[in-house]
Amino acid sequence: MSALQQIKSQVVAALSHPEAEDGLYFNNLIVVHEEEERPIVQGEEVAVRGALDQLLREGVIEALGAGDSQIFRLRK
């Protein structure tokens, strides 16, 4: 599995977690605090953003808002 595919799988896993029911900000995808149980997305910021862009184009996820306040969630 390519690195991009791994990151895409990690994004889907993180967004599938009950803690991500309302979506996650980009920083919440790559940083998981001690009290949180969802999986972390591992990869360089550029690679994670590339995976998010591809998942958006594929229609797997959707983005609400823009810039730093953009929230990603699984498409319903």
> In Å, how far from its chain's centre is CA 44?
13
Question: Which sequence spans correspond to the domains of the chain?
Answer: 3-74
Q: Which ranges of the chain have pLDDT less than 70? A: none
Q: Determine the pLDDT at residue 61.
A: 98
Digit-coded pLDDT (tens) for 20-40: 999 999 999 988 888 878 888
Q: What is the pTM of this model?
A: 0.92
**Residues 42-59, buried b or exposed e (16+ Cβ, 10 A)?**
ebeeeebebbbebbeeee
Tell me the CATH architecture of domain 3-74. Answer: Orthogonal Bundle (1.10)
